[in-house]
Amino acid sequence: MGIDQLFETALHDHQYVCLRQRLQLRAAASTAIAVITDFRHTSAVEDRAMDKRYYLERCDTEGRERLAVPRLPCVIGRDPSCDLLLDENRISRQHARLSIAPEGLLIEDLGSTNGSFVDCRRIEAPTLLQPGQRLHLADHELELVIDRPGGATLVQARSGPAPGDTIIGYTGDPAGFPLLAPAFYELLNQCLIEIEHTPIKTPAGLPHAELLRCRSRHRSLPADSADLMNIGRELGEEARLGTLLRDEALQAADAADLGPRLFIEQHTAESDAPASVFDELDRKAAEYPHLELIVLLIGPVDELIDWLKVLAGRVPTRFRLALEGADAALADHLPLPVAPNYLQVRAADFSGDDMQALIASLKAAGSRTVAVCGDSGAKPPEAADLVCQN
C-alpha cells in the first residue's frame, strides 16, 4: 500500500471515530433530556399537590374537626411515629397511607385489622380518593377537603349511598355507613361468640351426635352464624370470621366434654378458595383426635357443588361430611361429586319428587338422612335415619 493510500485510510478511521463520538454524545444528551423531562413531570405533580393544603375532616365528631395532612406520602394510624396520628379504637398502629398520583391522592390500606373503605367499599389496593368521597378507617368516617391557593376550599358533592340508604346486609345510619360494622368488629376482636349445642338422635331416642351452632353474644348484634357470615362477606372479613367460629365451637365443645361426634357448620360464603378451608378443617381434626368432626356444608346449590368438586380431589380427609339439603335443586346435580356421609333436611321439606330422589340417591351411596324438626313432639318422616329437634 502506498503513502497516499495509508494517509487516506488513517483519515477515514479518524473521521469514523469522531463521528461515533458525536453520535454517542448525542445519545447521552437525549437520555439526559428524557431524565430531566421525567423529573420535571414528577416534580410538577408534586408541586401541584403541595400547592394545595389537604385535610381529613372528621364526620363522627362535633364541629367536624379538621386534621391537617402534614406531608405526602402520609401514614395514618395510632402509632406516635405516624405522620397523622389518629389514636382511636379499632384504628391500627399504621392503618393507611395517602400518597400523590397524577390524578389526585391515593389511599392505601396498610394491612389494618379493621379495614379501610372508600364509599363504603373495602379497598384492597391503592384507590383514588376525591374530595367529597367517604373514607372510613375502620368505622371512623372522614372526608377529604382541599384548600387551594387563595383560600378557595374544594368539597365536592357527596358520593356513594344517600343518607338513609341501605347497604347490602346492613341498615344505613345518617351517613350511610353500616351501623353493624362497629359491633361486628368488636365481636371479631373480642371473640363475642356463644355456642349452642343440639343433640342429634335416632328415631328411638338414642344419642348419635351434637350439632354445634354459633351465635353472636354482642348486645347490639343479635345474629346467627349465617347472618354473621353475610356481614363478614360484605366487609371482606369472612375468612377471619370463619376461623373464629371454628375455634370457638371446638374449644367450647371440648371444654364441655361433648362428643365424640360433632357437627360443625361451614358456610360456603366464607371463601372462594375452599381448599384452604379444607386444609384448616383437617388441621382441626388432627388437633382434636378424640372428636369425630362432621362438617356441615351450608350454602346455595352452585356454591355447594363447587366446594364438593374441590373436596372430590382431596378424599380421604380427617373429617366427615354433611350437606344441608335446603334446596331440592341439588337433585339436578346427581350424582354429586362427593357423596356426603349425612344429608340434613328440614322435616317439612321431605315431600316432593326432587327431594325424594335426592334422599334415595344419597341413601344408596351410604348417606344417612337427618331430619330437622321444629316441634319436639312432631313425628319425624319415615325416611329419616336421625332426628334433630331445632
In tens, the pLDDT along 316-342 reads 899 999 999 988 899 999 999 999 999
- Distance, CA of 9 to CA of 11 (rounded, Å): 5
**Residue 83 belongs to some domain of the structure:** yes
Are residues 221 and 112 located together in one domain of the fold?
A: no
Backbone angles phi, psi at 15, to 5 degrees: -65, -35
End-to-end C-alpha distance for the chain, whole angstroms: 111
Residue-range definition of the domain harbouring residue 86: 53-147
**Residue 30 belongs to some domain of the structure:** no
pLDDT at 114: 84
**What is the total count of domains within the chain?**
2
pLDDT at 26: 54
Q: How many helices (H) and strands (E) does the chain have?
A: 7, 20
In tens, the pLDDT along 256-274 reads 999 999 999 999 999 888 9
Residues 163, 174 contacting (CB under 8 angstroms): yes
Average pLDDT for consecutive 10-residue bins of the chain (390 residues)? 47 49 51 40 45 83 82 95 92 95 91 86 90 85 77 40 35 44 88 96 95 92 89 87 96 94 96 92 96 96 96 91 92 94 93 91 95 78 91
pLDDT at 43: 43
Query: Could you give the C-alpha distances from 263 to 5, 88, 228, in angstroms and in order?
Result: 100, 40, 19
Among candidate residues 147, 162, 190, the one where a domain is terminated:
147
CATH number at residue 301: 3.20.20.450
Are residues 100 and 233 located together in one domain of the fold?
A: no
Are residues 217 and 310 located together in one domain of the fold?
A: yes
Residues 307, 299 contacting (CB under 8 angstroms): yes
Written as one string, the DSSP assignment of 267-312 is EGGG-S-HHHHHHHHHHHHHH-TTSEEEEEEES-HHHHHHHHHHHH
- Distance, CA of 140 to CA of 354 (rounded, Å): 49
Q: Identity (one letter) of the amino acid at 243?
A: T
Residue 77 CB partners (closer than 8 Å, separation 6+): 85, 86, 91, 92, 93, 94, 95, 96, 110
**Residue 43 belongs to some domain of the structure:** no
pTM greater than 0.85 (yes/no): no
Are residues 230 and 370 located together in one domain of the fold?
A: yes
**Residue 157 belongs to some domain of the structure:** no
**Beta-sheet pairing, 74-77 with 84-85:** parallel
Question: Cell numbers of 137, please?
Answer: 378507617
